[in-house]
DNA sequence: GCGACAG
DNA sequence: ATCTTGTCGC
């Protein structure tokens, strides 16, 4: 047993599953197998509903082959912090565009387990359906956990888009041919847009509304900002303890 | 074949 | 992601 005087608690250790994909071919096969499980037909939670909005993010120390993940729960009404948890582990996959989930998910799952609350929405750093195989990180995490998820990415990936209007809330589609798979969304006036896509149990309109609601002051959602800070702190603490 | 390419 | 100096602004 361990006592925690830290407000955040000690990080959980995240083991990489023995059957985790090791090659790109194995990883893409997993995506092809799971992608049918995505539900984008309706939104499990609406902005304004009570509930817990959970941001997840990951920080890396490739030198030491370490990952730290954080899950931070904010009250949907008022965005006050309710709980947070962190986890650390070994890097489970190299960075390959399109296969980000295999790098982040084991540690993120450990942090979510440790949270002690069931999220009503998980906000991921990256993409969901706006992905080469329609199964980015947010969708993958959603299908594995069964939780509603959205992706909010900081930079464009594979799909083209026009610049959204200058006002907060202005958006323009991310096109995969003639299909809208995501949206470039202006969360703050005069600031670069973010890129929103559905993860699981969510629609694009509602995903954008959540992203906007979660970003009252800065470009990025408060969930993402909180999770980013928390996983960086966890990684720094880990490097401090060891060498 | 070459470049681009979430984090 | 991470590395990094200064700079502009509240």
Provide the pLDDT for residue A112: 98
A219 Cβ nearer than 7 Å to chain C strand? no
A59 Cβ nearer than 7 Å to chain C strand? yes
Averaged pLDDT, A197-218: 97
Average pLDDT taken over every residue of chain A: 94
Averaged pLDDT, A50-74: 96
Q: Residues of A forming the annotated binding site?
A: 57, 125
Averaged pLDDT, A18-30: 97
In DSSP notation, A39-99 reads --SS-SS-TTS-SEEEEEEEEEETTTTEEEEEEEEEETTT--EEEEEEEEEE--S---TT-
CA dihedral A96, A92, A152, A179 (to 10 degrees): 50
Provide the pLDDT for residue A242: 72
A104 Cβ nearer than 7 Å to chain C strand? no
Percent of chain A with pLDDT over 90: 91
Chain C bases near protein Cβ (<7 Å):
1-2
Averaged pLDDT, A222-236: 96
Q: Which of A199, A189, A18, A188 is nearest to A92 (CA)?
A: A18
Q: Does A239 have pLDDT greater than 90?
A: no
pLDDT, one tens digit per residue, over A74-91 is: 999 999 999 999 999 999
A125 Cβ nearer than 7 Å to chain C strand? yes
Q: Does A190 have pLDDT greater than 70?
A: yes
Q: Does A241 have pLDDT greater than 90?
A: no
Averaged pLDDT, A148-159: 96
Provide the pLDDT for residue A1: 29
Going along chain A from its start, the domains and CATH numbers come out as 12-237 (3.30.2170.10)
Provide the pLDDT for residue A4: 34
pLDDT, one tens digit per residue, over A84-127 is: 999 999 999 999 999 999 999 999 999 999 999 999 999 999 99
Measured CA A58 to C1' B7 distance, in angstroms: 8
């Amino acid at each position: 047993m361990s006592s925690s005087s830290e407000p955040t608690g000690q990080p959980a250790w995240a083991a990489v599953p023995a059957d985790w994909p090791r090659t790109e071919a194995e990883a893409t096969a997993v995506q092809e197998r799971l992608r049918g499980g995505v539900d984008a037909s309706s939104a499990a939670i609406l902005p304004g509903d009570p509930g817990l909005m959970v941001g997840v993010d990951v920080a890396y120390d490739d030198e030491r082959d370490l990952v730290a993940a954080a899950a931070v729960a904010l009250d949907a009404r008022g965005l006050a912090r309710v709980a947070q948890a962190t986890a650390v582990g070994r890097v489970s996959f190299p960075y390959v565009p399109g296969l980000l989930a295999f790098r982040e998910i084991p540690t993120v799952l450990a942090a979510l387990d440790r949270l002690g609350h069931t999220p009503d929405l998980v906000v991921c750093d990256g993409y969901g359906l706006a992905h080469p195989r329609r199964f980015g990180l947010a969708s993958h995490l959603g299908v594995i956990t069964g939780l509603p998820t959205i992706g909010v990415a900081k930079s464009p990936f594979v799909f083209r888009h026009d610049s959204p209007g200058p006002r907060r809330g202005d958006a323009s589609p991310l096109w995969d041919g003639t299909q809208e798979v995501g949206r470039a969304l202006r969360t703050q006036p005069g600031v670069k847009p973010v890129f929103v896509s559905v993860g699981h149990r969510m629609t694009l309109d509602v995903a954008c509304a959540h992203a906007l609601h979660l970003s009252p002051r800065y470009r990025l959602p408060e969930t993402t900002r909180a999770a980013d800070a928390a996983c960086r702190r966890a990684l720094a603490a880990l490097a401090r303890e060891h060498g």
